[in-house]
């Protein structure tokens, strides 16, 4: 049996804002690099205007294929201090929100939307939906809150790289009214375990893959 392991690193920036709205832009301002989406071009330009021909991250970033098949040098990441109720609302874990409080949050949001709408029946319909979805709810739903940004690195970052990301992330957050709650460095280890290996071009006479499983 042969085991193989590979690893890479995630520089995680924890915030209180949905990271899908800014992950590529913040990464571009921190590293001077963008992915195939082209998002973050202004921030990439800002980086190179500030640091000139700096190549600090030219060989340090790792492209990871996302669920849609596109290469990404960054991604949204879970912030463990928060959770999502499944309806787009985020709550701090330490606040221990109740089901009643979550309903109130949804009703307040529905009222705000209805006030801006010309549909006189919109609020009534939204209230009916909320009541139906929460009817009989026993456990407060907890879903991951993607309020963090993870920058993919193929090696342990240098001190200079860490400081660059830290300083530039704070600068981006200040410009865009985002609150940074902390920074984390994670090691991601992927293990591949070989279960069996039939090297012959064809199985031996009378032998099949089922024979291998029979001995498990």
* Tens of pLDDT, residue by residue, the chain (216 residues): 455 668 999 999 999 999 999 999 999 999 999 998 899 999 999 999 999 878 899 888 999 988 888 899 999 999 999 988 877 778 888 766 565 566 667 666 766 777 777 777 776 776 676 666 555 554 566 789 999 999 999 999 999 999 999 999 999 999 999 999 999 999 999 998 888 988 866 555 555 555 555 555
DSSP string, 101-146: HHHHHHHHHHHHHHHT-S-TTHHHHHHHHHHHHHTT--S---EE--
pLDDT at position 88 is: 75
Residue 83, beta-bridge partner list: 91, 144
Q: How far apart are the first and last CA of the chain?
A: 13
Name the DSSP class of 61.
Answer: B
pLDDT at position 202 is: 59
pLDDT at position 179 is: 97
pLDDT at position 112 is: 74
pLDDT at position 142 is: 77
Nearest residue to 182 (alpha-carbon basis) of 100, 77, 108: 77
């Amino acid at each position: 049996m042969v085991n193989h392991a590979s690893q890479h690193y995630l520089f995680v920036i924890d915030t209180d804002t949905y990271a899908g709205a800014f992950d590529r832009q913040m990464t571009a301002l921190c590293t001077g690099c963008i992915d195939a989406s082209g998002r973050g071009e202004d921030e990439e330009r800002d980086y190179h205007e500030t640091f000139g021909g700096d190549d600090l991250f030219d060989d340090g970033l790792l492209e990871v294929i996302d669920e849609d098949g596109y290469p990404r040098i960054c991604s949204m990441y879970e912030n463990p201090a928060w959770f999502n109720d499944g309806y787009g609302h985020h709550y701090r874990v330490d606040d221990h929100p109740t089901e009643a409080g979550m309903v109130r949050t949804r009703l307040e949001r529905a009222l705000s939307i209805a006030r801006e709408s010309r549909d006189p029946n919109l609020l009534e319909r939204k209230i009916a939906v909320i009541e139906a979805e929460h009817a009989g709810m026993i456990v407060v739903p907890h879903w991951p809150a993607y309020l963090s940004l993870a920058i993919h690195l193929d090696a342990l970052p240098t001190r200079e790289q860490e400081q660059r990301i830290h300083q530039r992330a704070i600068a981006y957050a200040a410009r865009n009214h985002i609150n940074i709650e902390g920074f984390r460095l994670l090691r991601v280890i992927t293990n591949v375990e070989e279960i069996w290996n039939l090297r012959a071009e064809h199985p031996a006479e009378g032998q099949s893959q089922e024979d291998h499983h029979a001995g498990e």
